[in-house]
A and B are shown apart, each in its own frame.
Chain A
């Protein structure tokens, strides 16, 4: 939960102090951080004991447990937001 206060601090700095001309630099830094995070996720996975064995034995069942709930979440949210909210946040009355 400590991430939320950090983000709020960023919002305040972006709103009052941060020069707009560095917007692109900020976006590039975000990309670098994201790539490092994904790399670290890969390292954590690869270092997990018997990761490939687990993936081989339980991969199909895990895939089903990922695919069905994720697909239904996307479908439900898409249907509900399409009906009740438009793309720019204008709530339909």
Chain B
């Protein structure tokens, strides 16, 4: 799966750079939402086939928020560290890190707020987070635990990285992953503007 995913990514980049088959590619990229929708539906079926899931989830209670809290705190601390080792201000650094993998929103928002250079860094770093999560979920689930996979995926854990979750973790982690993704995605726009203004 990882090899297939790598092949798909690099052949996609090659096609995008060369512009080969532009009409087919443009059709495909303009219908990404439909594919994502279908994927979420199929993942939902997998979750639905797993009996006793709700009973298991109830056991988490308030501690279901441990994962999103850890994701936000870790990213914020990482942003502060980046502020110390790069020429960017603490506000810019924490705002970039608080994208939590949502590269499109973070890139555009920070591009408008702080200029093209930090916008590009926000786009690239959050994109790297999403791509890294794709390829590291198998390793993290084996070496650490399945919750760590959700942590690396950040806000993308509710959609794009979800199929890797279901392949390499279990249905229970998939539901926790969706909950984490929803919370993180709701927090990203707030965190970006708060961090940029406060620090």
**Do B66 and A77 touch (CB < 8 A)?**
yes
Which residues of chain A have C-beta atoms less than 8 A from B74's C-beta?
69, 71-77
Given contacts A82-B145, A87-B145, A89-B60, contact A45 B97 (CB under 8 A): no
Given contacts A39-B8, A44-B29, A82-B145, contact A18 B48 (CB under 8 A): yes
**Do B43 and A10 touch (CB < 8 A)?**
yes
A77's partner among B11, B42, B117, B151 (CB-CB below 8 A) is B151
Which residues of chain A have C-beta atoms less than 8 A from B108's C-beta?
none
**Do B49 and A23 touch (CB < 8 A)?**
yes
**How many chain B residues have a CB neighbour from A under 8 Å?**
94
B152 within 8 A of A: yes
A63's partner among B32, B125, B140, B164 (CB-CB below 8 A) is B125
Which residues of chain A have C-beta atoms less than 8 A from B41's C-beta?
6-7, 9-10
* Distance between A64 CB and nearest chain B CB, rounded to angstroms: 6
Query: Roughly how many angstroms separate A51 CA and B17 CA in the complex, as a whole number?
Result: 9
**Do B48 and A12 touch (CB < 8 A)?**
yes
**How many chain A residues have a CB neighbour from B under 8 Å?**
72
Within 8 A of B (CB), among A36-93: 36-48, 51-52, 54-55, 58-59, 61-66, 68-78, 80-82, 84-85, 87-91
Given contacts A14-B46, A68-B81, A70-B78, contact A30 B163 (CB under 8 A): yes
14 extra interface residue pairs, beta carbon distance < 8 Å, beyond A10-B41, A34-B164, A37-B36: A2-B37, A3-B36, A33-B163, A40-B35, A41-B130, A46-B15, A47-B25, A62-B121, A69-B75, A70-B129, A72-B75, A74-B151, A89-B57, A91-B61
Query: B residues within 8 Å of A by Cβ?
Result: 1, 4-5, 8-19, 25, 28-29, 32, 35-49, 56-57, 59-61, 63, 66-67, 69-71, 73-79, 81-82, 85-86, 93, 96-97, 117, 120-122, 124-134, 140, 144-148, 150-152, 154, 158-160, 163-164, 166-167, 172, 178, 182
Query: A residues within 8 Å of B by Cβ?
Result: 1-4, 6-16, 18, 20, 23, 26-27, 29-31, 33-48, 51-52, 54-55, 58-59, 61-66, 68-78, 80-82, 84-85, 87-91
